[in-house]
A and B are shown apart, each in its own frame.
Chain A
Amino acid sequence: MKYLQNPFGYERILKKDDLGSGKKQKGARAADWKYTLKRIWQVVDEQRSLLVLVFMMVLVSSVLSLTGPFLVGRIIDHYVVPGEYDGMINLILVLIVVYCILSISLFLQNYWMIGIAQATIYRMRTGVFAKLMHLPVTYFDKRQHGELMSRATNDIETLSSTLNSAFIQVVSSVLTLTGTVLVMLYLSPLLTVLTMIIIPLMFMAMRWITRRTGRLFKEQQAAIGALNGMIEETISGQRIVKAFSQEQQVIEEFEEKSGRLRTVGFWALSYSGYIPKVMNALNNMSFAIVAGIGGLLALNGYVTIGTIVIFTEYARQFTRPLNDLANQFNTVLSAIAGAERVFAILDEPAEEDKGVRDIKLQGAVTFRQVYFKYNPEAEKDTLSDINFAIQPGQTVALVGPTGAGKTTIMQLLARFYDVRSGTVEFDGRNVQTIARETLRSQMAFVLQDPFLFEASVFDNIRYGKLDATDDEIIEAAKKANAHDFIMKLPEGYKTVLSADGGEISQGQKQLLSIARALVADPVVLLLDEATSSIDTVTEMKIQEALEVLMEGRTSFVIAHRLNTVRNADVVLVMQQGQLVESGMQEELIARGGIYASMLRAGKDIDALLDR
């Protein structure tokens, strides 16, 4: 018994109480997948004219596939058996036409359906992607890339294979079913009713099975997603895996996730495998019922033997489309499991982009009593009571120990996050009243972790301003001191950079992202450790370019080498989420406070090491 509960040692996934006997829950679940199905249908339905064509072709092929055997029967009955051959050739010619049209209609229905299905898939896939690009940053903070990727690939693929066949199958099954039932009723209403006995049984069986598979399919897609997430992260971080010889550990973790997928997959496949088997058995039973009871009826003369013979054949015809329908229902369930995960993303609230547009920023920035924390449940604020005002065109240095909240200030400036209380203002306007598009299109960033796309150097720099000419790009690269090394690349500016290739160093990546910001020609410039991996000699050269760039623009600069911020107009000293000192550079030095001591500390350490 124990073995039966855990065949081949697979852990049981569905527990009794999981399936829920409460009616309310059941109702909710049914509504769930009906709703999902409806949404898929809405996308499919956008190509209604093609869909109508497919429907017509299915109609044609269903009729013709019945006509063929009928005509063959006629040939035998009317010509071969009586030995009359005149006119047979005509029927054969008709048959040739019928068969050709049958094949053509079969081909066309599939041809169009594939078009419809894949267009649907395309729409959903690009829809998911577009949605992802417009979700707030917080959405990505706790999610693995690979898991999200799985939704636009693996989940949508299950939907794809279903859409290719389900519609045609369902329509043609329903058509044949109706036709057969009509003929059966005509032949013997009594036996028809007997055959129908299995239908309630069938519904019960289907219900029992799909209640399980529906859940299991969902779990299966989730397991694939988890696996995808792990694969993506591990392979992206392969260097660390190797450096720490953690291959075995990683493999074990993979096998655990992979094993989970196997277990869930086992149950999903097993249960969904029941469907054709149960259908077959019910089919056989109806066969037995028709034959047995029909036989008894025949004894009493209610039906003829011929009727029984024909009827058993029709009973078979009757159950086959039912069987197909049941199978389709199952694949549809697996598709729904995938689709639900896709819709989950589509239903996420996007970063709304309301607010004023078409305003030109002057570059004045004010923080008024700004409080902020990333995690709403955290006790401590990441930033508390931040107040400062910056004039247009000023260069602002953010200094302080790591984790003091410098990058957070930058994130709030760009409105990646919204403040908990207080306001961030641009030219006296609350940042929340300005459209993000308008705000960010007048800003340029160099982020802490420079990122390059798998694209040419040209395109990577052009990311800052999509309509920049090649000359503008080269100009920016020269200013960023990137031109020389770019020219040494195999194809200069046209070299396609590979994502994890070794041809570009971290420092060079930073140079390229500075060039990217330069080409953007912003009103407000944000430099977050923009030169941390660049050697100081090169840095000095860029410094001049940056200074030229910062002229007339409001700039915020984070740097640990205080040298790089010595030309700042305003210095904001951060400590543990608080602004502990702020003012003009000279003022602060003269005041002899924290900033001055930081400058001194740099030198003290130098002196210390100089001994």
Chain B
Amino acid sequence: MRAVFSYVKPYRWPAIIALMLMFVELFVELAQPLIIAKIIDEGILPSDGTAIWLWGIVMLFLSFLALGAGITNSYFSSHVAQSFGFDLRNALFRKIQSFTMATYLRFPTSSLITRLTSDITQVQNVLFMSLRIMLRAPLVVIGSIIMALLVNAKMAIFLLLGVPFLLVFLIIMVKKGITYFSVVQARLDRVNRVLQESLQAIRLVKAYMRGQYEASRFQKVASNLQVDTVKALRIMELIMPVLLVVMNLCLLLALWFGSAEVRSGNAQVGDLVAVVNYAMRMTGAFSMFAFIIIAFARAKASAERMEDILLIEEGTEDRAGIKEIEENQIGTIAFHNVTFRYPGTNVDVLSDVSFSVSQGQKLAIMGATGAGKSTLLSLIPRFYDVTAGEVYVNGRNVASWDLDILRGMIGFVPQQSMLFTGSIVNNVSWGKQNAALEEVQAAAAQAQIHSAVESFPDAYETKVGQKGVNLSGGQKQRLSIARALIRKSHILILDDSTSALDVKTEAALWDALAEEETTMLVVTQKVRTARDADRILLLDEGRVVGFGTHEELLSGSELYKKIAASQQEVE
């Protein structure tokens, strides 16, 4: 809770002003009975009309004062609440952006979304309310108790009888509330998850006509959410009735023993009336009080979920590291006895992999499905850290590079094209902010997509849907290649990213890429593509089983021969 609420700090002055304004309102409210007394004492009783007018005007003036204070308070407290929410949301998002890929595996996207929206809303609402109305209820309760004690401590003590019990009860309830509400938020995560999944798979759902099936899957998570929300809220609804019944019983006790005091002449009737009055005021504030406690428990549960993320120390990418690029080893890559397994698993995906690529060379990586090709590539921009061994880029261990510099040297084309909502220009220049349109076009031309884009009605301004839904597979792949090419990077990584291209387009693409002087790492299934490379790295179940030119492998590697044979054009 502390880490989350430290984000209020920059806004402590507006917050304090909001509170002061609230006190002004409270003051006006409390002053009113006093003024009415004045009207009666100075106006009506002595039959003084001007005094009534005078005090009446004072009262009106005070109402306007309270209105002014209230409205100003509204601005200040919403400023504090919204800015707090804004800062917190941004801090969370920043933190999430600094996660390593391994950390993302621990937090599903759906859960991160809930934390960034629903959880923030919970905390923000509590802050807003506490700046405006909430504090009043505790103040009324405490004030009434003090006043009652001042009037007649002996009688008022009965009112306090219930307090220890209520305190214990409230603490238990708050604890329970936190547990229950964090379950509720976790259920919301699941709802988000199924939603996200079904939307991503919408074509598959339609293809197999599984709308009903998905709906029943969703009903399950939605009903879990419903059941747990009901459970949490119902438990919390116990608070007010219990508070009320205990307080009212205390009131009756005070009344009973108070009347005995009055009878024995130790107290005035007036004292008893006053104490009872204060007790009633207290109970009047209880519904707000219970509401505060529920809101607090809920906010605490949400705050803890945010702190799960805010306080993560490990698992974030640290941006410190070497920034200078030495000229002599630009574009070289080397793997030294690299072993890798995904975090939280116990199978090595890569074992003891060693190879090196020198500047401007083209390395083709081949191997069966699941041999570890994509994994190997993901170690170069340091998406993951190796389990053992070292990866060198430009002659330096990737672990010692500043990540921005390291990734700035690499143009990466993933296996799945992953375009974003936005225009084609936005998507291509994603690789290089502020790129001129000519650069975008040049990159697109090199990626063999320029003429296709030109044929769209809106050309480069054509809007692309999420993940590029409105483009063909081959168009997506080529845009994704253009996005990498525009960077003119030292190293170009293509993870089987030409699979949806026809033979001619692909050949033209490779021709265009041959002009580039970058080091290229290319995962491919096609011997035709591999043959063109300087070296071919052959992987099998995470091990290097061949490394050499096409001819070398053709004569030396059984596996390579088998692959080549599988691609012989059948006559």
Contacts and interface: CB of A to CB of B under 8 A. Distances in A.
Interface in B39-75: 39-40, 43-45, 47, 49, 52-53, 55-57, 59-60, 62-64, 66-67, 70-71, 73-75
Contacts of A560: 499-503, 506
A347 interface: no
A454 B466 CA distance: 21
Given A107-B238, A133-B215, A309-B36, A284 B66 contact: yes
A134 interface: yes
A270 B29 CA distance: 22
| Contact-residue size bin, chain A (C-beta under 8 Å from the other chain) | 35 or more
Contact of B78 (A68, A269, A380): A269
Contact of B233 (A114, A137, A234, A490): A114
A103 interface: yes
Nearest to A273: B74
B401 to A, nearest CB: 12
Contact of B465 (A142, A265, A292, A538): A142
A110 B233 CA distance: 9
Contacts of A271: 74
Residue from B208, B255, B403 having most chain A Cβ neighbours under 10 A: B208
A134 to B, nearest CB: 5
Contacts of A258: 86, 89-90, 93
B310 interface: no
B98 interface: yes
A296 B52 contact: yes
A7 B62 contact: no
Contact of A273 (B63, B132, B452): B132
Contacts of B496: 506, 533
Residue from A72, A454, A503, A563 having most chain B Cβ neighbours under 10 A: A72
B396 interface: no
B192 A239 contact: no
B36 A312 contact: yes
Nearest to A415: B206
Interface stretch (B140-148, B160-168, B362-370, B437-445): B362-370
Residue from A121, A129, A606 having most chain B Cβ neighbours under 10 A: A129
A479 to B, nearest CB: 15
Contacts of A146: 113, 196
A2 to B, nearest CB: 15
A106 B421 contact: no
Interface string A39-83: 000000000000000000000000000001100100110011101
Contacts of A245: 403-404, 407-408
Contacts of A596: none
B570 A454 contact: no
Contacts of A217: none
Contacts of A504: 370
Interface string B186-212: 001001110111111111111111111
A288 B56 contact: yes
A543 B475 CA distance: 27
Given A103-B242, A287-B32, A537-B562, A598 B503 contact: yes
B567 interface: yes
Nearest to A140: B202
B199 A281 contact: no
A280 B233 contact: no
A536 B566 contact: yes
B414 interface: yes
A345 interface: no
B20 interface: no
B263 interface: yes
Contacts of A463: 204, 208, 210
Contact of B200 (A110, A249, A254, A451): A451
Contacts of B63: 281, 284-285, 287-288
A299 B525 contact: no
Interface stretch (B100-108, B170-178, B331-339): B100-108
Contacts of B504: 401, 598, 601
B351 interface: no
Contacts of B470: 141-142, 374
Contact of B475 (A88, A118, A403, A511): A403
A436 B209 contact: yes
A126 B101 contact: no
A385 interface: no
Interface stretch (A149-157, A189-197, A355-363, A389-397): A149-157
Nearest to B381: A243
B304 interface: no
A242 B81 contact: no
A488 B416 CA distance: 24
Interface stretch (A16-24, A27-35, A93-101): A93-101
B383 interface: yes
Nearest to A466: B213
B219 interface: yes
B82 to A, nearest CB: 5
A110 B204 contact: no
Contacts of B256: 92
A14 B299 CA distance: 31
Given A72-B255, A245-B408, A81 B218 contact: no
Interface in A421-444: 436-437, 440-441, 443-444
A69 B208 CA distance: 66
Contacts of B89: 258
A447 B211 contact: no
A212 interface: no
A566 B202 contact: no
In the A-B complex, the 3 residue pairs with the smallest Cβ-Cβ separation, listed nearest first, are A402-B474, A292-B56, A277-B70
20 contacts: A68-B248, A75-B255, A79-B259, A114-B234, A118-B226, A231-B112, A238-B104, A247-B98, A251-B94, A262-B86, A265-B81, A269-B128, A308-B44, A414-B207, A440-B208, A441-B209, A445-B207, A507-B369, A534-B525, A538-B369
Given A99-B245, A280-B66, 13 more contacts: A72-B251, A238-B101, A251-B93, A258-B93, A262-B86, A265-B82, A266-B82, A270-B75, A292-B55, A295-B40, A298-B44, A500-B105, A560-B500
